[in-house]
Structure 1
Amino acid sequence: MINDPGMTVAPLDLESARDAATQFLKALGMDTDAPATVDTPARMVAAYAELLSPRPFVFTTFPNDSAYDHLVAVRAIPFHSLCEHHMLPFRGTADVAYQPTDKIVGLSKLARLVEHTAKRPQVQERLTRQIATHLTEQLAPAGVGVLVRAEHLCMTLRGAQTPGTETITTALLGTVRSEAALRNEFLHATRSGDR
């Protein structure tokens, strides 16, 4: 399992959450007693519980028997999360790469790591850094690169109301940060126009 102190979650209390959702919606003027909306608070709570509950997984690693030391990259891993400031979704893709040393990882685990890290109230900057940090802790690679692109509904549906905007964040560690050739390889491999 991924060791993540930030993911300590109290047991869910769906009944209290449903009661609170009912009061919240009523306070905003919604009739929660109408036939079409009587179950809305329960559906709302179920949706948020799903958005905030990562599936457990084991970060499977293998010996790097072939001594592969070039970049391993998985591009365009889709994810969704909730903005911790407004509790509105943001969604996008993560490009994740590492330069192996003694261990390699099952490629599907990179996608699971992104999902696991995104399933909590987040900010994109921290999400990007946490993915890179987890990879470093689990693999001890020579270098890590993470590039996250996302659309934030708290910016596109409210506030600035700028649909179609994309926020890009990066975390470059080890050789991906310090070696210009490897950094350029990572950034070239993750260019959105190359998809």
Structure 2
Amino acid sequence: MNLKKIEKGVKMILEGIGEDTERPGIKDTPNRVARMYQEIFSGLETPTEEILKHLEGESHDELVLLKDIPFYSVCEHHLLPFIGKAHVAYIPGAGKIAGIGELARALEIFAKRPQVQERLTAQLADVIMEKLKPKGAMVVIDAEHLCLS
């Protein structure tokens, strides 16, 4: 991630809206925004192949359900946040299961990329299907989009 480019871009936006970029309250804003973007877009740094590891030596065939997983992401159209909860369920098929923390981690990685809710939902379901080979999987995401509020 190129923090200097982000800082330069934020400074241009501030100048574009008529702000004095040397004003004390604004002077460090480009750097603060660049560091914030580094955090909220950190999912771009994790290759998809590294997402969702299954538990070795564990095997179940009952429904696995994790609900109300909190997350935030950033709408790729407006660069505004959307915040919500995800609900994930799958029925193990190949005997592979993932720890609860791994499911939440997978959601966080995908959410920390410029996103749309539909793609985020599909990416999480797809990685579960690909890595765990379940009989079936379901992902429901309920979110409030600040670009629509």
Normalising by structure 2, what TM-score? 0.89
- Of structures 1 and 2, the one with the larger relative CO (CA 8 A, separation 6+) is 2
Question: Which aligned runs of 4 or more in structure 1 are off by greater than 2 angstroms?
Answer: 54-60, 62-66
Report the CA distance between 1:17 and its aligned residue: 1.6
Within the candidate set 96, 99, 102, 1:106 is matched to 99
Q: Counterpart of 2:144 in structure 1: which amino acid?
A: E
Within the candidate set 6, 14, 19, 1:25 is matched to 14
Within the candidate set 62, 65, 69, 2:55 is matched to 62
What pairs up with 1:26-175 in 2 under 5 angstroms?
Answer: 26-54=15-43, 56=46, 59-62=52-55, 68-101=60-93, 102-156=95-149
Report the CA distance between 1:23 and its aligned residue: 1.2
Give the SS at the match of 2:97.
strand
What pairs up with 1:173-192 in 2 under 5 angstroms?
Answer: none
Q: Counterpart of 1:124 in structure 2: which amino acid?
A: Q
Unaligned ranges ≥5, structure 1: 1-11, 157-195
Report the CA distance between 1:132 and its aligned residue: 0.3
Unaligned ranges ≥5, structure 2: none
Q: Counterpart of 1:131 in structure 2: which amino acid?
A: L
C-alpha distance in 2, partners of 1:28/1:53? Answer: 28
Cα RMSD for the two superposed structures: 1.7
CA-to-aligned-CA distance 1:28-72 (integer Å, 9 cap, x gap)? 111111112110111111112211012756533135755x32210
Task: Label 1:153 to 1:145 Cα distance change in 2 as closer, same or farther (>3 A).
Answer: same
Identity %: 44
- How many residues are matched? 144
C-alpha distance in 2, partners of 1:18/1:145? Answer: 39
Q: Counterpart of 1:87 in structure 2: which amino acid?
A: L
CA radius of gyration, larger in:
1
Normalising by structure 1, what TM-score? 0.69
